[in-house]
Amino acid sequence: MRRILAFLTLTFLLLATGVAISKAQSCSGISKEECNKLINETEQKLASTRDQKKTLSSQIDFMDTQIYLTELRIQDAERKIEQTANEIENLKGRIVTLNSSLDHISKLLLEKIIEGYKRREVPLFSIFIDPDTASTMFNRLKYAKVAEENDRKLAFQVQQAKLNFEQQKNLREEKQKELAELEAALENQKSALDAQKEQKQELLITTQNDEAKFQLLLAHLRADATSINSALGNVGEKIGPVNKGDVIAGVGSTGCSTGPHLHLEVYTDAKVEGGRVVGNRVNPQSYLENGSYQQPIPGYSGNVTTWYGEVYFLGTHTGIDMAAPMNTPIRAMESGEAYTTSATCSYNGSLGKGIVIDHKNGLVTLYWHIP
C-alpha cells in the first residue's frame, strides 16, 4: 500500500492545482475575517468532495481543493507572523520608553529622599520630640503630611512603572514564543504543500490521466484497507509471550503490498478479545519517538513512506509504513502476548500476514505484511 498510497494521495493534488487554484481567491489583501471565512468554505468543500463518487476527475478536484486550502493556510500564517512581528517591535519601543521613565522616576525619588534627609524636610519623628510651640508643631506636622503624601505618590508611580515594565517584558516574551510557533507551523504547511504537489504529479504519471488505471489503483487500495480490517477482526493462533525488543518477524510484502515494508498500527484502551482487536486506533508516531518503546525497525523515521493520517481519496492512512529490505528483523515494541493474523487481498488473491501483540496494559500493536 505504501507506494500506491503516496502516488494517489499526491498525484491528484497536482492536477487541479494548476487550473483551479491559479484562478481562486487569495487571503492576500483581504481582512482576517474574510480569510477565515474563505478557509472555512474551502474546508467544507473538501469534506463534500471526499464523499463524491471515486473517479479520477473527482480525485483531482479533491486534491486541487486540498492544495488550495493549504495555500490559504500558508497565507494566513504569513499574515499572522507579520502581525506578531510588528507587535513585538511595538513592545520593544514601549519597553525602552518605560525603562527610561522608570529610571527617571526612581532617580527623582532617590533625590527626594536624600534632599529630605539633608534638609530634614520630612523627619516625621522630629515633630513629636521638638519642644516648639503648638503652632510651630502644627505647621511642621501639616508640611510633613504633604511631603509624605507627595513621596508616597512618587513611590507609587515607581511601583506602577516597574509593574508595567515587567508586564510588557512578559508580553514580549509571550509574543516571541507565539512567533516561533507560527514560524514552525508555516514550515510544516509549506512541507505539506510540497508533498501534496509531488503526490499529485506522481499520480498523474502513474495513471497517465487514464480512468481505467485509476480504478485499478483504487481497487488495490480498497482491497488493502479491507484486508487489514479483516486481519484485526480475525486474530488467529496465540504464539505466546514476547519481550520488548524480541524479533517477532521479518519485513515482507504479503497481501496487497507493492513492495517490502512494515505497516504498523497502534491501538489504545485495547485488548485481544474473542478473536479480534478491540480498541481505538491512534497515531503510532508518539509511541515510536518517546523513548519508552522499542522501535520495530531501528531508524524508522528515515524509512517512512506513508505517515499515519495522510489524507487520500479513500480516507486517511491508518498506520505508519516503513520501507526496509526483505526479512529485516521486526522487533516487539513492548512485552506482551503475541498472536498470528492473516487476511486475503481480494485484489490479487495474495494472503497477507501479520503479528498482533496484546501488551496487557491497554495497548495493542499490529505488524502487517510479514512473510
pLDDT tens string 277-320: 999 999 999 998 888 999 999 876 667 888 888 755 556 788 99
Question: Residues 308-362: pLDDT tens digits?
Answer: 887 555 567 889 999 999 999 999 999 999 999 999 999 889 999 999 999 999 9
Question: Residues 145-203: pLDDT tens digits?
Answer: 555 555 566 566 666 666 676 777 788 888 888 888 888 888 878 887 887 787 778 77
Domain of 3, in residue numbers: 1-209
Asked whether the CA dihedral 21, 22, 24, 25 is positive or negative, the reply is: positive
CB 346 within 8 A of CB 339: no
Residues 99 and 56 in one domain: yes
- What local confidence, expressed as pLDDT, does residue 52 receive? 61
Q: What is the residue-wise DSSP string for 300-352?
A: GGGGEEE-TT-EETTEE--SEEEE--TT-EEE-SS-EEEEEEEEE-TTT-PEE
Backbone angles phi, psi at 269, to 5 degrees: 50, 45
CB 292 within 8 A of CB 259: no
- What local confidence, expressed as pLDDT, does residue 263 receive? 94
Residues 203 and 304 in one domain: no
Over residues 45-58, the mean pLDDT reads 68
Backbone angles phi, psi at 167, to 5 degrees: -65, -45
In the three-class reduction of DSSP (H, G, I as helix; E, B as strand; rest coil), residue 51 is classed as coil
Please list the residues that pair with 355 across neighbouring strands: 340, 367
- What local confidence, expressed as pLDDT, does residue 90 receive? 83
Whether 214 is in a domain gets the answer: no
Residues 143 and 205 in one domain: yes
- What local confidence, expressed as pLDDT, does residue 124 receive? 45
Residues 58 and 106 in one domain: yes
User: Which range has the worst mean pLDDT, 13-17, 71-75, 270-274?
Assistant: 13-17
Q: Is the pLDDT of residue 36 over 90?
A: no
Q: What angle do CA 57, 319, 53 make, to 5 degrees?
A: 20
Residues 139 and 249 in one domain: no
User: Which range has the worst mean pLDDT, 22-36, 206-220, 255-269, 274-288?
Assistant: 22-36
